[in-house]
Every structure is written in C-alpha cells, then in structure tokens.
Amino acid sequence: MKKKLILDVDTGVDDAQAIMIALSSPNVEVLGITCCHGNTPLKNVVKNTLRVLKVCKRLDIPVYKGFSQPLLDNKRHAGDYHGIDGLGDVPDLDAPGIELLQKEEAVQAMIKIAKQHPEEVILVATGPLTNLAVAVQLDPSFPKRLKALYVMGGNTDSRGNTTVCGEFNFVADPEAAYAVLERFNCPTYIATWEFSCRCSLPWSFCDELFSQKSEKAAFMKKISALSMAKAKSADYQKEVIAGGGFNPCDVFALAAAVDDSFITKKEEVAVTVELDGRHTRGMMVLDYMELLKKEHKVFIMKTVDLEKLKKMLINAVK
C-alpha cells in the first residue's frame, strides 16, 4: 500500500523541493496540500504550490487555502531568502490561476481526510503550524486519527535563524507550535534548524542536480538561484552551523515521512515551546530532566542517510 500524505506548506523554495520529492516517490499518494502563511504571504503560497504542481504535471492534487496570519503574533515572512514572491522572484506568466483552489478550507480538509483514512494519513508540516493548531482545537480527536506527524521546525541548541534563539517556523507562530507539541499525541518526528544545517548538501551535488536535462530540473534551478546566492554569502555562512553547503530544510521532514529508513539516529524526548521569554519566545525546549511530566515524547532527528536524500532529489527532477 502507498503511504498517504497530507502536505502542509508555506511554499518557498525548500517546500517546493519537498513537494517534488513527494510527487516523484512511487510509494506515496499525496491526498492534498494545505497552505499556510510563512515564507511569503498566503496569496503567494497558494500560487507557488500550483506552480510546482504544474511543472510536475500533477494539478489533479487538491490544494486548500489555510490561515493567512498567526494565531496571536505579528506576521513574519522570509522574502530576503526565498524572494518576495517566495519562489525566487522568477515569475511564470503562464502560472495556474487560483481558481484551481478547492472551495473547502485547509483545516476542514485536513480533518475530513483524516476521518476518511483513520490512522493511515501522515501529515508533513513544513511551515508555521497555524493550520494544525486550529485543526486540533476544532477536532481534539484529529491527532489520534493520524498515523504520524513530521515537522520541520524548532531547534535544539538555542541557535536561531530568525531571532536570537528561534527558528523561523516556530517563531512565525509560537502559540501554534506550542499547541501542536502539547496536543498532538501521534508519533511525531522533528527536523530542527541546527540538524538541517549539519546535513547541508555539498555545492557539487547541487551542480549535479541542476544539470539534469528536464523541465523540472530547470525549474528547480531557476527558483533556487536567489536562495543559493544568499546561502553562499559570507554573512549567511556565519549564521549556519557546520556544513557550508546548501540547506534544503523542509526536505528532511518529507524524506523521513517517505522512507522509514532515512533516519539513522534519533532521540526521544518531551518538548515544549517558550512563549514568554524576551529573547527565547518561539524557542523549542527539550525536557531531558523530565520536569514537564509529559507522557507524549517526540523523536528528534539526529542523523540521516544523505545518499538516499540525494537520490530522492535526483528522482524528483527526472
């Protein structure tokens, strides 16, 4: 049986790469894609998602519009890295129109799909967790119907990429991240910011990836140019941890959801999100001393099989 996935995205460049991996994986069925504010305003997220589906010739996959702002905080976007439009500022004059969006809202769609396939659906979240937090508020049984949740977000070493101690997806909606980590009791796997930095892909592989002779490879190369230039800058290299190559953050969560053997080392620990700190708001906190007395623990990815990831990316652009 194919794995059944819902992708919850804020489609920037790395979300696009993750979507393309999912669509090229023979053991995966994408049941729907739900969109959220994040890397770029929601109106761009839905357009970008449709652009990715178009180049993959998969406009049959339903796309749903979710929340355009966080639960309580001010909006944040990542235009300096992903481009103002979230997809490298390389517009497509023939991009699909938003009339292709489903009429149903993202949260309602998530809940409905999970009810239709109880304990079969894997939810992969690569943006702020606003849609997920509202879904569990509307239907507290929603997490129990999921097979698993895979998240790109949070951090383990208090190294931020948006604030002093905060990773973008969690900082973009701290209350949502807190609610999800408190109330989702399904198996939960997290690819954190520092982990993704340590797993950066060498620039030589990027050259190999973009040299593939296909429309998909040309598309990925075009949308990635701006973020790759940023990633190569001296200022950015000071911010990242180890690595020194290209960090496709969101693909780690997706790859783990697609291939159970992708994660080679993980640790199980209770986590929460700091909501009040002046410098630490949005930071993920790991409870190694078990002072939180939480029954549900998450799996933090530590090491992965990067050769498998490279193969997934190559297959994604064939």
Residues marked active site are found at 10
Instruction: Give CA–CA dist 185/187, Å, rounded.
Output: 7
Q: Residues of 109-140 as b/e, b for ≥16 C-beta within 10 angstroms?
A: bbbebbeebeebbbbbbbbbbbbbbbbbeebe
Residues 6+ apart with CB under 8 A from 94: none
Instruction: Give CA–CA dist 48/61, Å, rounded.
Output: 14
Residues 6+ apart with CB under 8 A from 17: 220, 224, 248, 250, 251, 313, 316
List the beta strands (DSSP E) in 85-165. 121-125, 146-152
Instruction: Give CA–CA dist 308/255, Å, rounded.
Output: 9
Pairing of the two strands 298-304 and 263-269: antiparallel
> 221 vs 1, 16, 214, 253, 276, CA distance in Å?
33, 12, 11, 21, 40
Pair 146, 30: CB distance under 8 Å = no
Residues 6+ apart with CB under 8 A from 52: 11, 16, 19, 20
Pair 260, 148: CB distance under 8 Å = no
